[in-house]
């Protein structure tokens, strides 16, 4: 059996996947290296310049030179060899292995190869510190595949920390405390006549102030809504950010937030909007949908009970928002906040969010479904912008006077 390499030469560099001895240890590199420095060793591994490296040589390097790859990558590399009928690993698969960006075909090759290997279960590892035990817990909470869990466990680094969801939550709490002290009201703050005067609240009469389409997440109806959203952002949002990264989770959260305010401006044109429910429901619905679609692979304890509890709590929050929206307003108060952000956030989570969570360490740009979702979301944004510019006057909507 052989492991193939794909050399490409120019005047000064050779770009290839190869085994290279450095400081008496075997390192697997995919990078540009000078020919003068490394070519002798390359020729030693492949004296006939066939473009292949024998797997026997690779095995010897692993056993005698302490190959500096974490256990999950070593396991996957052997699985790739086992998965190929000719016993070869192509250059692109090696790139995906080391770059941590994997395609669906790569995943299938790993899955097929691992069936022939003796697999270790991450739960069996002992002697772990507090942080590593927490990382293992997060892996079993979020990821449905054992190979993905091992990959995340060995690749995880505390830096950068999952700061996005934590910062959003802290800011929401600070803003709520400030307005609670100012209004001297901690529950159902929207009934206070001065609540809607905040420059953070989305109000249909202030649509020209575009920042309100996002900043409404920092205002909440009361302690009950803030507590629910903050709890889910920390319990679900932070682990998701740890596994999938700041960029993807912040993108999903912000998409849910924007979809929430824009949906309200289209479907509930007279209502204001407060609370981070659009982003929260995008995260939660994506996670729950991922759990359902990978039910047998998920190893989180009491998953059925927790699923039922989550659905009951989320449904209760929607019911509270619906009741508040249609409850008789006080003479001094304006219409109560809309509940449509909850529903639109859930739609974003089931579509965009589910694809993100199912593409752990895979390149989204390579997937046609990702571009379909991006195109659909962009179309919705453009439609909503034009709707907010023209529809209110054309339809003669009577907007409550802004405070």
Digit-coded pLDDT (tens) for 197-223: 999 999 999 999 999 999 999 999 999
Q: How many structural domains does the chain have?
A: 3
Task: Say if residue 299's pLDDT is above 90.
Answer: no
Are residues 198 and 319 located together in one domain of the fold? yes
Query: Once rounded to an integer, what is the mean pLDDT over residues 321-342?
Result: 84
> Tens digits of per-residue pLDDT, 355-383?
999 888 788 888 999 999 999 999 999 99
Which residues have CB under 8 Å from 20's CB, separation 6+? 26, 27, 28, 29, 33, 38, 41
Q: Give the tokens for residue 63.
A: 């056993």
Share of the chain above pLDDT 90, in %: 49
The answer, yes or no, to whether the previous bond of 351 is cis (omega within 30 of 0) is no
Residue 270 within a domain: yes
Are residues 95 and 241 located together in one domain of the fold? no
What pLDDT is recorded for position 36?
Answer: 36
What pLDDT is recorded for position 64?
Answer: 52
Task: Say if residue 45's pLDDT is above 90.
Answer: no
Is 322 exposed, middle or buried (CB count within 10 Å of its CB: 0-12, 13-18, 19+)?
Answer: middle
Residue 135 within a domain: yes
Task: State which of 135, 159, 183 marks the end of a domain.
Answer: 159
Q: CA angle, 186 as apex, 181 and 189 as ends, to 5°? A: 100
Are residues 315 and 186 located together in one domain of the fold? yes
Residues 72, 244, 342, 351: which is the catalytic one? 342
What pLDDT is recorded for position 132?
Answer: 85
Query: Once rounded to an integer, what is the mean pLDDT over residues 75-102?
Result: 54
What pLDDT is recorded for position 27?
Answer: 38
Residue 403 within a domain: no
Residues 277, 285, 344, 359: which is the catalytic one? 277
Task: State which of 88, 119, 150 marks the end of a domain.
Answer: 119
Are residues 241 and 297 located together in one domain of the fold? yes
User: Does the annotation count 342 as an active-site position?
Assistant: yes
What pLDDT is recorded for position 349?
Answer: 97
Are residues 212 and 265 located together in one domain of the fold? yes
Are residues 78 and 150 located together in one domain of the fold? no
What pLDDT is recorded for position 47?
Answer: 60
**Full residue range of the structural domain in which residue 115 is found:** 2-119
> Tens digits of per-residue pLDDT, 142-155?
998 887 888 788 77
Are residues 74 and 169 located together in one domain of the fold? no
Task: State which of 89, 119, 149 marks the end of a domain.
Answer: 119
Which carries the bigger pLDDT value, residue 274 or residue 403?
Answer: 274
pLDDT band at 29 (very low <50, low <70, confident <90, very high): very low
Query: Once rounded to an integer, what is the mean pLDDT over residues 221-243?
Result: 95
> Tens digits of per-residue pLDDT, 116-133?
444 556 666 677 888 888
Residue 109 within a domain: yes
Residue 402 within a domain: no
Query: Once rounded to an integer, what is the mean pLDDT over residues 392-403?
Result: 86
pLDDT band at 275 (very low <50, low <70, confident <90, very high): very high
């Amino acid at each position: 059996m052989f492991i193939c390499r794909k050399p490409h030469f120019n005047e000064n560099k050779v770009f290839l996947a190869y085994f290279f001895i450095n400081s008496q240890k075997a390192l697997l590199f995919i990078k540009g290296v000078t020919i003068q420095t490394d070519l002798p060793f390359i020729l030693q591994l492949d004296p006939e310049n066939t473009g292949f490296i024998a797997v026997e040589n690779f095995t010897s390097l692993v056993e005698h030179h302490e190959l500096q790859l974490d256990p999950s990558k070593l396991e996957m590399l052997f699985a790739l060899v086992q998965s190929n009928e000719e016993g070869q690993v192509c250059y692109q698969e090696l790139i995906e292995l080391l770059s941590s960006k994997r395609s669906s075909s790569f995943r299938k090759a790993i899955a097929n190869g691992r069936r022939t290997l003796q697999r270790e279960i991450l739960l069996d590892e002992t002697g772990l510190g507090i942080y590593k035990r927490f990382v293992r817990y997060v892996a079993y909470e979020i990821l449905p595949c054992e190979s993905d869990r091992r990959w995340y466990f060995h690749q995880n680094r505390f830096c950068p920390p999952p700061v996005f969801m934590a910062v959003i939550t802290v800011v929401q709490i600070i803003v709520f405390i400030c307005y609670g002290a100012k209004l001297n009201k901690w529950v159902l703050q929207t009934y206070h006549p001065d609540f809607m005067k905040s420059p953070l609240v989305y109000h249909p009469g202030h649509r020209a102030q575009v920042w309100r389409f996002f900043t409404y997440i920092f205002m909440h109806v009361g302690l009950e809504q803030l507590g629910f959203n903050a709890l889910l952002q920390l319990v679900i949002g932070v682990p998701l950010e740890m596994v999938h990264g700041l960029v993807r989770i912040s993108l999903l959260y912000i998409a849910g937030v924007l979809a929430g305010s824009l949906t309200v401006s289209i479907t509930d044109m007279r209502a204001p909007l407060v609370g981070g429910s659009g982003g929260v429901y995008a995260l939660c619905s994506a996670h729950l949908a991922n759990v359902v679609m990978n039910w047998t692979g998920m190893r989180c304890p009491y998953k059925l009970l927790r699923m039922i509890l989550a659905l009951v709590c989320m449904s209760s929050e929607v019911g509270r928002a619906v009741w508040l929206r249609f409850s008789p307003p006080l003479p001094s108060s304006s219409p109560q906040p809309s509940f449509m952000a909850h529903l639109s956030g859930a739609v974003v989570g089931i579509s965009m969010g589910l694809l993100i969570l199912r593409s752990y360490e895979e390149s989204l740009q390579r997937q046609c479904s990702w571009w379909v979702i991006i195109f659909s979301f962009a179309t919705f944004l453009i439609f909503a912008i034009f709707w907010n510019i023209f529809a209110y006057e054309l339809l003669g909507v009577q907007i409550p006077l802004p405070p």
